[in-house]
Amino acid sequence: MKKDTTTEEKIKEAARTVFLTKGFEGCSSREIAKAAGMNVALVNYYFRSKSQLFQLIFKAAMEDFMESMIYVFSTDQPLEDKMRIFIEREYDFLAKHPELPNFIINEMNREEACASNEHSVILEKIAETGIFNDCQKAQAEGKMRKMNLISLTLLVMSNCQYPIMAKNLMQSIHQLTKEEYDEQLVLHKGYVTEMLVQYLFPKQ
């Protein structure tokens, strides 16, 4: 232990940024070492292999990916408000970590990787917030549209994550600058919130 950021942490940080922007196959050990200002051998000295380092980064990224959800769901507010706040927070979060959804989804599609892992833990953590019970209750009382968990999460994730994931595609198709698209995202967040709330919590 010497400075604030030890060599091990420097490598981990560098690995995170490189892995998240380029993916596991899109970068080399040497690239990570260089980004950390270190020798290549040090990467394996601390983390044994590129794969092991990656798994570490991936796991942490996955937790980040789920973090904001859990926070909001734990609050004690009407379900409809939770939904609004959640979307608000999710758009904020993804604006800060725009590479995350693509990274997670891509690496989940690599056969070798992460596929068989214990990602059901995530679901349990979310379940601990009581959000799922709240939904079931609201559905039973007729305050919320009846729908299983999978579609519920799909609806929310689709409308929050896709607009970030497809950023470059949409910019290219619609000929927009980054700034213009970011403005568009703010507008879109409003539409998404309105649409989801109206559909999930129908009035009358």
Partner DNA sequence: CATCGTTTTAAACACTTGTTTAATATTCTT
Partner DNA sequence: AAGAATATTAAACAAGTGTTTAAAACGATG
Question: Where on the chain is the footprint of DNA (CB under 7 A)?
Answer: 1-2, 7, 27-31, 38-45, 48-51
Structure tokens at 181: 């698209």
Angle made by CA atoms 162, 165, 167, in degrees to the nearest 5? 105
Task: Give me the least distance between CB of 40 and a second copy, in Å please.
Answer: 20
Q: What is the rounded distance in angstroms from the CA atom of residue 21 to the CA atom of residue 29? A: 14
Q: Which is nearer to DNA, 28 or 151 (CB)?
A: 28
Residue 139 is classified by DSSP as H
Q: Which is nearer to a second copy, 41 or 157 (CB)?
A: 157
* H-type alpha helices, 97-141: 100-109, 120-128, 131-140
Q: Which is nearer to a second copy, 10 or 125 (CB)?
A: 125
Which three-class secondary structure state does DSSP give residue 75? coil
Q: Which is nearer to DNA, 90 or 107 (CB)?
A: 107
Residue 43: name its binding partner from DNA, a second copy, none (Cβ under 5 to 8 Å by kind). Answer: DNA
Task: Give me the least distance between CB of 2 and a second copy, in Å please.
Answer: 35
Residue 38: name its binding partner from DNA, a second copy, none (Cβ under 5 to 8 Å by kind). Answer: DNA
Q: Which is nearer to DNA, 29 or 184 (CB)?
A: 29
Q: What is the rounded distance in angstroms from the CA atom of residue 29 to the CA atom of residue 48? A: 11
Task: Give me the least distance between CB of 45 and a second copy, in Å please.
Answer: 26
Q: Which is nearer to a second copy, 11 or 161 (CB)?
A: 161
**Residues in contact with a second copy by the rule CB under 8 A:** 23, 25-26, 102, 104-106, 108-110, 115, 117, 119-120, 122-123, 147-151, 153-155, 157-159, 161-163, 165-166, 168-170, 172-176, 184, 187-188, 191-192, 194-196, 198-199
Residue 70: name its binding partner from a second copy, DNA, none (Cβ under 5 to 8 Å by kind). Answer: none
Angle between helices 131-140 and 149-165 (to 10 degrees): 120
Q: 10 Å Cβ neighbour count for 1?
A: 4
Cα dihedral 146, 148, 151, 152, rounded to 10, equals 70
Please name the amino acid found at residue 137.
K
Helix (H) or strand (E) holding 195, with range, is: helix 178-200
